[in-house]
Structure 1
Amino acid sequence: MEAFAVPGLPEFEAGDDIAHEIEAASDLRDGDVVCVASTVVSKVEGRTADLADYPAGPRAREIAARLEELTGDERDPRFAQAVLEESTDLVMDEPFLLTETRFGHVGVNAGIDRSNTGGAELLLLPRRPSESAERIRDGLDADVSVVVTDTSGRSFRHGQTGVAIGWAGIPASRDWRGETDRDGHELEVTVESVVDELAATANLVSGEGDDGTPAVVVRDWAFGDHEGSENLYRDVEGDFVRQALRGWRYDGD
């Protein structure tokens, strides 16, 4: 397969048409996968904010004071308030905030960004990224799939990688269960998160920092003859790591 950045895209602002700009800058083909950074999706959807928009409540002030005590760094309780308002579940509250967003993604600080914000203090994740992906897909002439990506840290590993937070025109995963390996053993648990793998591929090409490009096309990749699934985020009942974290407390060592 081939992956390449879409060249010459503008600095996106609220109300801009992402699909139109991608269409004008690239020769899309049926079957392509278009990966779009969540930062530009958030910008065009007006998901920018300032700290003044989040007067801190008692819980936010408590969290900020505790994090400041643990880290020695000054913490703004208004930022903690923004994280709380963008979350449905506070998985960890020390030594950093790990939360579940309203669309199911679990990440640090509800995915709120303080870089590449387009002049605002905060850039929030899209409210419903899969709906955002569908709107972009509907605006493109070619029959493509769209994945909205973000960068995310991973448990047990250093560094960040690209992950999918929204998708359209493609299942989230392909299910290998019931098929056999090269030794003839039946696969019982293998469900491949293809949208995450495509997002990671795009992240390799798009780059980071001020060299980053907001859209990547993956070409000549096929989902294959597999069952698909829309399940990407674990249910709490089956997420044993999250259950363990709920009973864990940071001791500062």
Structure 2
Amino acid sequence: MHAFAVPDVPEVREGDDLAALVSERADLADGDVVCVASTVVSKAEGRSAPLSAFPPGELATEIADRLADIAGEEKDPRFAQAVLEESAAVWMDAPFLLTETRFGHVGVNAGIDRSNTGDADLLLLPERPTESAERVRDGLDADVAVIVTDTSGRPFRHGQRGVALGWAGMPASRDWRGETDRDGKELEVTVESVVDELAATANLVSGEGDDGTPVVVVRDFEFGDHDGSDNLYRDLEGDFVRQALDEWEYARD
């Protein structure tokens, strides 16, 4: 397996055809996995916005004031309002906003970006990233899988890594349960998040900052003879971390 960046991708603007931009610059082969940064997906889908589009309500103002007290610097309540409007649930509001997007991703500030936003103040995540991945896949000239990626921090670890937000043309995970290890013991809980691992692979190539390489092709990845699943985001009933956060918030109130 190897990964390479698609070269010379121009600045993406609203209405651009991402599939055409990729097809013109990459000789894709059947079985490739095309990893596309959510940044360019959002730009093509017109998900940029000015701060003025989010006049703050009372809750956003309270959150911004609380965060400002913790950080020792002013926080814009309009940004807090944008996060609230892009979120289905708020799991922490101090010392940062940890929220759940409407498509199930849990991350800081609903994944709203304030860098590489072009002329806009904010760049919101795609509304339905799996549908975005399907549209890109349908427009490509080979039988490939497509993953919409983002970078996200993880609990208990410094730094960020690539994660999948949406995918098409492959399962999200491969299920090893029922198979055996080298000692013949049956695996009971192992489900591998393949789309996240491929997103992280792509992020090693695309990098951060001003590299300008938002599309990475992973070639010769083999899913193998395993069962697959599209369950990537945990339900609340099975997510003990969110349950603990909910209980902590209740106790704090």
Give TM class, smaller chain: over 0.9
CA deviation digits over 1:188-231, x for unaligned, max 9? 00000000000000000001101141100000011111110000
**Once the 2 structures are TM-superposed, how far is the Cα of residue 46 of structure 1 from its aligned partner?**
0.1
Query: Which residue is 1:211 aligned to?
Result: 211
**Once the 2 structures are TM-superposed, how far is the Cα of residue 179 of structure 1 from its aligned partner?**
0.2
Query: Which residue is 1:240 aligned to?
Result: 240
CA deviation digits over 1:148-207, x for unaligned, max 9? 000000001000000000000000000000000001110000000000000000000001
| Pair 1:39-2:11 in alignment | no
Give me the whole-angstrom Cα distance separating, in 2, the residues matched to 1:10 and 1:57: 38
Query: Which residue is 1:190 aligned to?
Result: 190
| Pair 1:143-2:156 in alignment | no
Give me the whole-angstrom Cα distance separating, in 1, the residues matched to 2:91 and 2:157: 19
CA deviation digits over 1:122-161, x for unaligned, max 9? 0000000000000000000100000000000000100000
Give me the whole-angstrom Cα distance separating, in 2, the residues matched to 1:71 and 1:136: 40
**Once the 2 structures are TM-superposed, how far is the Cα of residue 32 of structure 1 from its aligned partner?**
0.2
Give me the whole-angstrom Cα distance separating, in 2, the residues matched to 1:82 and 1:213: 27
Give me the whole-angstrom Cα distance separating, in 2, the residues matched to 1:211 and 1:131: 26
Give me the whole-angstrom Cα distance separating, in 1, the residues matched to 2:212 and 2:234: 30
Query: Which residue is 2:105 aligned to?
Result: 105
CA contact (8 A) 2:9 2:212 kept: no
Query: Which residue is 1:74 aligned to?
Result: 74
Query: Which residue is 1:228 aligned to?
Result: 228
Query: Which residue is 1:179 aligned to?
Result: 179
Query: Which residue is 1:126 aligned to?
Result: 126
CA deviation digits over 1:1-37, x for unaligned, max 9? 0100000111100000100010000100000000000
**Once the 2 structures are TM-superposed, how far is the Cα of residue 246 of structure 1 from its aligned partner?**
1.9
Give me the whole-angstrom Cα distance separating, in 2, the residues matched to 1:109 and 1:186: 40
**Once the 2 structures are TM-superposed, how far is the Cα of residue 247 of structure 1 from its aligned partner?**
2.8
Give me the whole-angstrom Cα distance separating, in 2, the residues matched to 1:217 and 1:162: 14
Unmatched 5+ stretches in structure 1: none
Unmatched 5+ stretches in structure 2: none
CA deviation digits over 1:77-119, x for unaligned, max 9? 1100000000000010000000000100000000000000011
Matched ranges for 1:46-85 at <5 A: 46-85=46-85
**Once the 2 structures are TM-superposed, how far is the Cα of residue 70 of structure 1 from its aligned partner?**
1.3
**Once the 2 structures are TM-superposed, how far is the Cα of residue 248 of structure 1 from its aligned partner?**
2.8
RMSD (Å) for aligned C-alpha atoms? 0.7
Query: Which residue is 1:2 aligned to?
Result: 2
TM-score (norm 2): 0.97
TM-score (norm 1): 0.97
Give me the whole-angstrom Cα distance separating, in 2, the residues matched to 1:73 and 1:224: 51
Moved over 4 A (4+): none
Give me the whole-angstrom Cα distance separating, in 1, the residues matched to 2:131 and 2:45: 12
How many percent identity over aligned positions?
77
CA deviation digits over 1:220-251, x for unaligned, max 9? 011111110000000001100111112336xx
